[in-house]
Structure 1
């Protein structure tokens, strides 16, 4: 979070509306733009190398493409470019004004292509001695959206990993979020351009890892599901896992982790259950924001990622949202989506209608009747209030400047 100060400077200069309109993102250290600017300013020789053409920038996909093609290709796709806070998702090009403000040379940046199509050929000397086309590329969450067969407007998925990412396909509509969400490029039917609303949750499964490695409450992450199921609820405990600040919809880099409601009766099972329930509570935070932005919410939620294997999580999620939650047989939907994009690019499949037939359900979780989930959610929001703006930002900053304040 070392570029939080630069992000504050950009907000003070009035860049927030312009960056949100053009890139679909909020100003936050999470994205590439301020990180790259910091590196150019602080790494000895970096700016000189960049201006001399000896340095190239790209997200991880771009680096892998370059390595796999023996340096022949320096390219990325629209979905990855849209995560840098440097890419205009309306014009589908790098934004020169933002680049100038951050003093980032345009020559550093890769070419941008559609997600399905030939990006280059592998160099036999670099990869398994073969020359094959690289024909699919997407950001992990857009790939997961595609792998979940969320091809139509309104289709929604959540990937429960170390963090969680809720995406709703909005078709050719590019909604400007007023509720702390991101507008991002997605992939539509047959690989066409589409947009999505996204809520990026920084810490979900990583909180389980912290309980394992930091507090030693469990020996292995897979134990969390069984331990959480061993108690009926969290016993009034709420864990706000703001271990690296809070992402959507709060966007508060100064929030810090908070556990409230502990009593003498609290056990390690209650703490683990609170961490599991926090995944679902944060997902509802995002879904509530989506309902505000597009006037309707999802009619169902498709779930994937490692933590989605926990039945206790998905049942609680269904109760909180009041909609069916569906888990596919294939949980690694990011890899599946990338494979689908490559296959479309090479003609393996005729189109997304054929791909949709491949999606298979493992289990569905329907919401249980009653208002207990809503009462718990109100208490969750009280806990979030205590976590927000806990760390003092450097320099003067009024409460009105915090995106989190607008949501309370």
Structure 2
């Protein structure tokens, strides 16, 4: 039977680190259809991570097509396209042929770690970012310096560069061939641009001095646009011909938007491979003094931008994967909850998962993972609980840093990501934070955020208030731990973390 759609649908492209998805949503935010395709993770050497950008573009097209077929939707049923993407991943390609000149360098890649020199805070005031291996700008410069003739070609205007949203938008709007006589759009949004180390956080434009110091010719960079507004139309020869693209957000900003964190002081934490917490700080960027990053949360066309503080923790769900794959302590992620629930505490054991150093707010590259407090009494149940507690305690550190930087203490924490299915983890998180934790009815918050942004940009939604009305809370947890027990747990954690310092080669 052919599906009948009476209101415009929204197609959301969610281009992530390991896969590319398309979700088709209705105007109530309900997911009607979806498709997902993984892409290869390329590891040329220790610490290097790459993706084939052409493979990702192929997978995006396949995902859009498969999602539309799943619900038997026609292109005219779709009123808007939203896009969200892995951030900081950099692509450089030939403007004439549309072929990348090198694999995309992924946000996790560490080859540009020396960009900081002796001062990782050298560009913090202008960009909100620490100078390290994370941002996209130095990755672009690395490609120009390591592919024969690339820098000269870039200076001559033959090459284009951008983050993954820019690469996909260029292809979606026509690619090298253009569309109906119009060239493809070389554009990005403010949230992705704010992750490059090349954009001035206040002017929302590329900074010529930053570009010169990092080594990226401004001419090869895309035009920066508001997150919610006009990004052209999908090419006429594609699966969604002529559909307007009206919402583009980096993945963590999309999750913040999808959680309806529209008020200053609203915060969300995404529990995925790592942990990513963002706090809405309103129209003023707060430059961190406590190890956080300052980023653009979103901007509606014609309005002032909204800023956020962000804390990125390297190891979240990947700690449970390590217990499963490397140690064999659990058979699957669900068993970590089952085992941890069988004991009242971790028996004084702490796991500090500094497998490749510590990210926010400590930023200790010399740290390595440790397990502290082992006795003969300890068994795998205590280790499972210690792993969950490590997730909660790392989140506490970021939350406290955010409050110190902004002067705003969140009243509650909204959560999403794969780990939030663990009810015990959520209760432990409420206990450690001393605040309520809320899990949304739909945990697809990243894709939802891009869909809501696109719907707002195209007029399918009339206001942020209307969007907020679509975001329901499935369950909430309140603290049950006393202050004395919480303080003891935190003090033990701090002692354990200090044991991890200075262990790197």
TM-score, normalization: structure 2? 0.73
Q: What pairs up with 1:40-51 in 2 under 5 angstroms?
A: 40-51=144-155
Q: Distance in 2 between matches of 1:225 and 1:187?
A: 35
Choose the corresponding residue for 1:206, options 314, 318, 326: 318
Match of residue 303 from structure 1: 415
Question: CA 1:317–1:139 in 2, change beyond 3 Å: closer, same or farther?
Answer: same
Unaligned stretches of 5+ in structure 1? 393-408
Q: Decide whether aligned partners of structure 1 residues 151 and 390 sit closer, same or farther in structure 2, where only a CA change above 3 A counts.
A: same
Which of 207, 215, 218 aligns to 1:106? It is: 218
Match of 1:172 among 277, 280, 283: 283
C-alpha contact 1:181 1:248 (8 A) present in aligned 2: yes
**Structure-1 residue corresponding to 2:231:** 119
Task: For residue 333 of structure 2, give the secondary structure of its aligned residue in structure 1.
Answer: coil
- Work out which of the residue numbers 296, 302, 319 in structure 2 matches 1:185: 296
- Cα 1:55–1:225 change in 2 (3 A) is farther
Q: Is residue 86 from structure 1 mapped to residue 201 from structure 2 by the alignment?
A: no
For the structure 1 residues 100 and 10, does the alpha-carbon distance in structure 2 shift closer, same or farther, using more than 3 Å as the test?
A: farther
Verify: 1:132 aligned to 2:243, yes or no. Answer: yes
Q: Per-residue CA shift, 1:176-197, capped at 9, x if unaligned?
A: 2111111111136897511111
- Flag the structure with more relative contact order, 1 or 2, with Cα contacts below 8 A and sequence separation at least 6: 1
Q: 1:3 aligns with which of 112, 121, 124?
A: 112
Q: 1:329 aligns with which of 441, 455, 459?
A: 441
- Quote how far apart the aligned CAs of 1:373 are: 2.0
- Say what the alpha-carbon RMSD is for the aligned residues: 1.9
Q: For the residues of structure 2 that align with 1:79 and 1:266, how far apart are their CA atoms?
A: 45
Aligned to 1:404: none
The answer as to whether partners of 2:115 and 2:131 remain within 8 angstroms in 1 is: no
1:215 to 327, 331, 335: 327
State the partner residue of 2:102.
none
Of residues 21, 24, 35, the one that matches 2:125 is 21
Name the residue aligned to 2:95. none
Cα deviation code 1:369-402 (max 9, x no counterpart): 412122111111111112234325xxxxxxxxxx
**1:242–1:387 CA contact under 8 A, matched in 2:** yes
Moved >6 Å (runs of 4+):
188-191
Do the aligned residues in 1 keep the contact of 2:283 with 2:304 (CA within 8 Å)?
Answer: no
The equivalences for 1:8-407 within 5 A come to 9=117, 11=119, 16-17=121-122, 19-71=123-175, 72-125=184-237, 127-128=238-239, 130-187=241-298, 192-370=304-482, 371-392=484-505
Gapped regions of structure 2 (runs ≥ 5): 1-109, 176-183
Larger proportion of helix: 1
C-alpha distance in 2 between matches for 1:290 and 1:187:
18
- The whole-number CA distance in structure 2 between the counterparts of 1:255 and 1:53 is 43
Q: CA deviation at 1:131?
A: 2.6
Structure 2: distance between partners of 1:378 and 1:242: 18
* Count of residue pairs the alignment pairs up: 386
